[in-house]
Structure 1
Amino acid sequence: MTQSSKNKGSQFSKNNPWIELIQTIVTAAVLSLGIRTFIAEARYIPSSSMRPTLEVNDRLIIEKLSYLFREPIRGDVIVFNPTESLKAENFKDAFIKRIIGLPGEIVEVKTGKVYVNGKKISEEYIFEAPDYNYGPSRIPEDEYLVLGDNRNNSYDSHYWGFVPKKKIIGKAFVRFWPFDRLGSLYKQPAYLK
């Protein structure tokens, strides 16, 4: 092959708009898939279980990096894949709830309050006080107790158990829709009183 025929082949691929379009689309798809898989992804809220913090049809960004560098903490709003007990009930979609109990802690719900290791926690973010009793129950290592902020209308850990760390997809980071509620979801964690 002569030098001029090599140049024509490479010049053809450089100047062909179809080849450039395909290269651009493939590059964008690979970057998008990589970002969604390893860094962040968008999610929407399908139920009222997290009211008032999250409303039906809110759109969120879930970030996936922070738990590579630190453990989840009380107060984090997390998205997680169904646990084994939820899979047994044919749940396939991810859940979103707030972490209330950490590995090794004893959690109890009574008289409309949540207690961790016998101490009441502060919860300014809930819709209303829980009208049920739960526990006391010790959380296994590498697992978390999660509850919805709409305590009396949330299918959460007080029904089906704990969330293993390996099931956590990521932490709810920011709401981007609707625009009038745009902003960070970070709230001071519910520290023990």
Structure 2
Amino acid sequence: MQARERLVRSMQELMGERGYVATSPKAIQVHAGAGQGSMYHHFSGKADLARAALTGTAEDMQAAAEQLLSAPGTALERLTGYLRRERDALRGCPVGRHALDPEVVADVALREPVAATFRWLRERIAGIVAEGQAAGEFPATLDPEAIAAAVVATVQGGYVLARAASDPAAFTAATEGAVQMLTGLGR
């Protein structure tokens, strides 16, 4: 693995554990086994490295979601697959946790990969709901964007519930509730 990739992965891991502010350039360098010169050769500073790390984390999350959302099956089956995907509920969402980091939210360049991921996810899910409407699975009266927002909010809220209770069953209860609601909407 090249130094740039080691630095990005180290930043992803450390930001996921500690947040942006508590992740020092020195800790990143030690974790990556890279020197200061290497870090500043590849990145203009900590914020530039953090943006690369957030972008990589967002791309990984989108790829994992897309695999499920583009799988064969009905719209309901694909949405159910997404909701029931195995996740480490106590660790939280690899992207969503950064929406709670004040330093990330305050910096447009750092916030953008987080915001873009959730925009993409809502749009992708809304498209699947619309496909389900066209196929007669869901009523035409549904607002696909609202359903998509509710699905994304359920997953993100499920992480919060699980972490607050220190119990992954809280996440499962939230996502299973969403599956039941979507199933009830079907015809």
TM-score by length of 1: 0.24
Compare the two structures and name the one with the higher helix fraction: 2
Higher Cα Rg: structure 1 or 2?
Answer: 1
Compare the two structures and name the one with the higher strand fraction: 1
Higher relative contact order (CA 8 A, sep 6+): 1
TM-score by length of 2: 0.24
